[in-house]
Amino acid sequence: MALEENERIIIPDESGEEHLFEVLFTFDVDQTGHSYLAVVPAEQQEDEEVEVYAFRYEEQEKNDDDLSLFPIDSDEEWEMVEEMLHTLIDEENNE
């Protein structure tokens, strides 16, 4: 299952409570073979500051609807995700 923009996913937090998020974008990095996604809380108010969360993910072969999410630990990965986010924001502002 390829994730689509504006798709919604449920992500549990550390205590197991589930939260609904809207997918902003996904991208793959050919050099590493990893896939990444950026999400925002779906219940966010218009006037609230947007908090973006990013994860490395892998699709589960046995069930196309399941994803395994992994935290982004390295500074190098964070810089790459931030660069993609800034690029997409710039493109959106120029349209």
Strand partners, 57: 35, 69
The answer to whether 41 touches 19, Cβ cutoff 8 Å, is yes
Q: What DSSP letter does each residue of 53-78 carry, written as one string?
A: EEEEEEE-TT-TT-EEEE---SHHHH
pLDDT of residue 5: 55
Which residue type does 14 have?
E
Per-residue confidence (pLDDT) for residue 73, from 0 to 100: 85
Query: What pLDDT, on a 0 to 100 scale, did the predictor assign at position 1?
Result: 40
pLDDT digits (tens, 9 = 90+) for 4-41: 557 899 998 889 999 999 998 888 888 788 999 989 99
